[in-house]
Amino acid sequence: MADRAVSDAFRALREAVALSPTNVPLRVALGRALLDAGRHADALVELKAAVLQDPAREDALLAVGEAAFALGRDGEGVEAWMRVLAGLEPASLADLARRALKIGRRPDAQAAYDRLLGLDPTMRDLGIERSLRFAVVSGAEPEPEAPEPVVRSRPSITFDDVGGLQALKERLRMDIILPLQKPDLFKAYGKKPGGGVLLYGPPGCGKTHLARAAAGECGVNFQAVEIQSVLDMWLGESEKRLHQLFEKARDEAPTILFFDEIEAIGAARHQLKHGPGRRMVNQLLAEMDGVNAQNESILVLGATNAPWDVDPALRRPGRFDRVVFVPPPDVAAREAILAISLRERPVADLDLALIARRTPRFSGADLRHLAEVASERALTDALRTGAMRPVTNTDLLAALERVRPTTVEWLETARRYVTYANQAGLYDDVSRYLQAMG
């Protein structure tokens, strides 16, 4: 299939999934298509979401294993395949046994190997047998530590590195930064700190960037939580890990705890009243309520590109009670972002206002990309001539031929939600934005 046709097929599937997020077979089909196209990481996200919704879904578990192995995430792959042992082909069983041995999971390796010989005794594998024996003699290797689900840092960027979004910065200053810096003052006026802010909007428009900048702005720790790792549903440990994560944040307070792509937690919203997704949501709610009760210097920020998939329970008071739209940058913001993106490069004869006018619907990330393409053009010349030359408007205009805005698809999806599912006025901000866009 031509690239174009492939991406159309993805888009159709993605839209279908967006419109019926609880349709597990559709999500599996999307995951499968991504997998076949070699987009393993994207596939894994969809497939894991499908498994969260229907933990017994064999085709999804099989595909999760394939995707995880392709990504070198053997632990996850082994967990998935162990759950569908009875459905595996002999070759897969041998593969599973080897991978399980490699990561020190001897009992799993043994089980897979026993099953293999049960199916087909001619598949004896002396290498596997030797490793199994060796593992007994030497004592099983301790299981490798699960990857840390958190990235800790002390961001050096501040709000000055974020173009546009003035009102939002002011709001975060009042809601997040000042309460962290002056807790007593806030208490004196009866304003409770805490409660979370959930940022949503099209990809690449600065949600993650802004959260980091907020931490840099007040010089506190920043802990970015990778939901997919916490969600390590295979081990049934997600709740414990989530709890540990909050404990750790309490130790390191003041801190901003940032949950990116938080819809992954609530993906199982309508179905599965008792499944793993549900339990995770409940645990997160309990932790957030605990943060408030103990009035600690932890602030919780969340971000999502898919607010419609976020469990509504997470939006109740005291939790993510402020839900804020991060729109694509307006013309002034685009100019600011271009200036930030070109700040450390040699430039001359720029008319960024002109470029800003010509880039409607560009995200911050798109603008940054535009600046990079333009810079490459200047660099190519410099390499050819051996003489340094600055990046100019001509480079930016040339780059415009090659860089396309990436927010359009999101905005189209959002338009449907605004039209058909704007319960409780949740998407009023988006609605106003879309109307202004025409």
Q: Select the residue interacting with ligand ADP from 21, 206, 266, 327 (CB under 6 A).
A: 206
Q: How many angstroms separate the Cα of 240 from the Cα of each of 222, 230, 313?
A: 21, 9, 20
- Binding-site string for ligand ADP from residue 38 to residue 67, where x marks contact by CB under 6 A and - marks none: ------------------------------
Instruction: Tell me which stretch binds Mg ion (CB under 5 A): 33-41, 208-216, 217-225, 364-372.
Output: 208-216
* In the complex, minimum distance from the CB of residue 211 to ligand ADP, in angstroms, rounded to a whole number: 8
Site for ligand ADP in 295-314 (CB under 6 A): 303
Site for ligand ADP in 175-204 (CB under 6 A): 203-204
* Cβ-Cβ contacts under 8 Å for 238 (sequence gap 6 or more): 230, 231, 232, 276, 279, 280, 283
**Local structure of 320: helix, strand or coil:** coil
Of 207 and 269, which has the nearer Cβ to Mg ion?
A: 207
Question: Which of Mg ion, ligand ADP, none is residue 209 near (CB under 5 to 8 Å by kind)?
Answer: ligand ADP
* Cβ-Cβ contacts under 8 Å for 31 (sequence gap 6 or more): 43, 44, 46, 47, 50, 60, 63, 67
Cβ–Cβ < 8 Å for 50, 13 = no
Longest dimension (CA), the chain: 78
Q: Select the residue interacting with ligand ADP from 196, 266, 364, 405 (CB under 6 A).
A: 364
155 binds ligand ADP (CB under 6 A): no
Of 175 and 260, which has the nearer Cβ to ligand ADP?
A: 260
φ, ψ at 298 (rounded to 5°) = -120, 130
Whole-angstrom distance, CA of residue 154 vs CA of residue 289: 25
Does the bond joining 254 to the residue before it have cis omega, within 30 degrees of 0? yes
DSSP class of residue 390?
A: -
Q: Select the residue interacting with ligand ADP from 57, 83, 209, 377 (CB under 6 A).
A: 209
Instruction: Tell me which stretch binds Mg ion (CB under 5 A): 53-61, 194-202, 205-213, 276-284.
Output: 205-213
Whole-angstrom distance, CA of residue 209 vs CA of residue 213: 6
Residue nearest to ligand ADP (CB): 364
208 binds Mg ion (CB under 5 A): yes
Query: Number of residues in contact with Mg ion, rule: CB under 5 A?
Result: 2
Question: Which of ligand ADP, Mg ion, none is residue 365 near (CB under 5 to 8 Å by kind)?
Answer: ligand ADP
Cβ–Cβ < 8 Å for 268, 52 = yes
Query: Number of residues in contact with ligand ADP, rule: CB under 6 A?
Result: 18
Q: Binding residues for Mg ion, per CB under 5 A?
A: 207-208
Q: Which residues are near ligand ADP by CB under 6 A?
A: 162-165, 203-209, 303, 329, 337, 340, 364-365, 368
